[in-house]
Amino acid sequence: MNFDLTEDRQMLQDSLRRYLGDKYQIEHRNKVAYAEPFHDPAKWGELTELGALFALAPEDAGGMGGAGFDISVVFEELGRVLCPEPVLGALMASRLMTAAGADQEALLSGETRYAVGLGELDAPYDLSGLSTTVKDGKVSGRKSVVYGGQAADVFLIAAKDGDSLSVYEVQASDASVTGYAMMDGAGAAEVVLEDAPAKLLLADADAAIEDAVNAGVVALCSEAVGAMDVLHKMTVEYLGQRKQFGRPIGTFQVLQHRAVDMLTEIEQSRSIVIKAAAELGGPDATRYASMAKNLIGRAGRLVAEEAIQMHGGIAMTWEYPGSHYAKRIIMIDAQLGDTDYHLSRVAQVA
């Protein structure tokens, strides 16, 4: 199997790495991630001008990619700088709109920002327990932790429609939106809908919603790999600089072994992401997406904890970038299903 990126994906990766490395230094990232609107609207415009969102949609939907590897390339680069821009919501919305055959020009150009409302307080991951209802073209309910919802112009809302799920388009101006920064600084929102005017986007949407969630999981796992890779390099560099007993602590064999264990976990994570990305859109997509999320949830916690322990007290400070990488890696485990949920999902699919 050839693991090399295609020429187009390599160009996309290089462009994103140069742009994000220059424009999203950790100081700027922390400045915008924790203050409203919990991202940088100017940088959002520049990111979309680079064509990042077009890489998330297939050609027949107006994009230039849409495959699992396209998604993986984009989100791994976002993870390397902890970019807080609401790209996850755009990706999941694009998957739903592709399934519906809807026009995505405004989404892919970044002109209109979309977010997807799936989970609720009593049904954070398992959507069979949704209580959001639709009557006479109006939606009522509450969506919890809507990623990118604090900056959205349009929401795609999952609601019960008989025995299946449907997706409705709701303008943000017709909803009560409370935005906030999550633990790691990325933006989310609580969205309350009270007889909000809604337009049916997709009926019998169970399969499309599952595909959107799988795509989101692949994206988050790719982001985690990017963040873990940077945190590992940061840790190895620190081990070579910090001195104890007159020599760098990186010369102590026990710390070398722990650093190698971190790298092993990261490479295993990268491998399962490659497999999940390859299977996205296929019959085994759910199985491999959940396998990836479960493994990366466990590996990410180990990498974050080891990095903090080997750094010592400095890793707990706001000023040191490692603390923010550790928080983001841990937070990813809670998004779109944690390790326990995805373990049970694998068992159900099997």
The C-alpha atoms of residue 88 and residue 220 are separated, in whole angstroms, by: 8
Q: Which residue has the tokens 């064999």?
A: 253
Last residue of a domain, one of 141, 169, 204: 204
| Domain stop point among 108, 138, 161 | 108
The CATH number of the domain holding residue 242 is 1.20.140.10
Whole-angstrom Cα distance, residue 119 to residue 192?
Answer: 12
Record the pTM.
0.96
Q: In 10 A of CB 340, how many CB atoms?
A: 12
In a domain, 1, yes or no: no
DSSP bridge partners of 143: 191
345 shares a domain with 213: yes
Compute the chain's Rg from CA coordinates: 20
Residue 17 forms part of a structural domain: yes
CA distances from 80 to 1, 43, 187, 251 (A): 26, 16, 18, 27
Asked, for residue 68, whether it belongs to a domain, the answer is: yes
- 256 domain-assigned: yes
Whether residue 214 sits in one domain with residue 314 = yes
Do 24 and 121 fall into the same domain?
A: no
> In this structure, are 100 and 15 located in the same domain?
yes
Which runs of E-coded beta strand occur in the chain? 114-117, 133-135, 138-147, 154-161, 164-171, 176-181, 187-197, 199-202, 243-244, 247-248
Per-residue tens of pLDDT for the chain, all 350 residues: 566 788 899 999 999 999 999 999 999 999 999 999 999 999 999 999 999 999 999 999 999 999 999 999 999 999 999 999 999 999 999 999 999 999 999 999 999 999 999 999 999 998 989 999 999 999 999 999 999 999 999 999 999 988 889 999 999 999 999 999 999 988 999 999 999 999 999 999 999 999 999 999 999 999 999 999 999 999 999 999 988 888 988 889 999 999 999 999 999 999 999 999 999 999 999 999 999 999 999 999 999 999 999 999 999 999 999 999 999 999 999 999 999 999 999 998 87
Dig out the tokens for 190 from the structure. Answer: 């609580």
Q: Specify whether 214 is located in the same domain as 171.
A: no
* Backbone angle region of 282, left / alpha / beta, with phi > 0 → left and psi within -120 to 50 → alpha: beta
How far is Cα 94 from Cα 99, in angstroms, rounded to an integer?
Answer: 9
Residues 303, 5, 290, 89, CA torsion sign: positive
Q: Is residue 2 one of the residues assigned to a domain?
A: no
Do 261 and 301 lie in a common domain?
Answer: yes
Rounded Cα gap, residues 197 and 168, in angstroms: 9
> 313: part of which helix (H) or strand (E)?
none
Alpha-carbon span 222 to 76, nearest angstrom: 5
Q: Are residue 166 and residue 243 in the same domain, yes or no?
A: no
Q: How many folded domains does the chain comprise?
A: 3
Verify that 127 and 227 share a domain, yes or no: no
CATH number at residue 46: 1.10.540.10
Same domain, 84 and 133: no
Whether 22 and 70 map to the same domain: the answer is yes
Q: Which residues contact 19 (CB under 8 A, 6 or more apart)?
A: 46, 47, 50
Q: Is 328 helix (H, G, I), strand (E, B) or coil?
A: helix
Domain that holds residue 231: 207-349
Are 118 and 88 found together in one domain? no
Q: What is the pLDDT of residue 208?
A: 98
Residues 179 and 221 in one domain: no
Last residue of a domain, one of 140, 174, 204: 204
The whole-number pLDDT of residue 3 equals 67
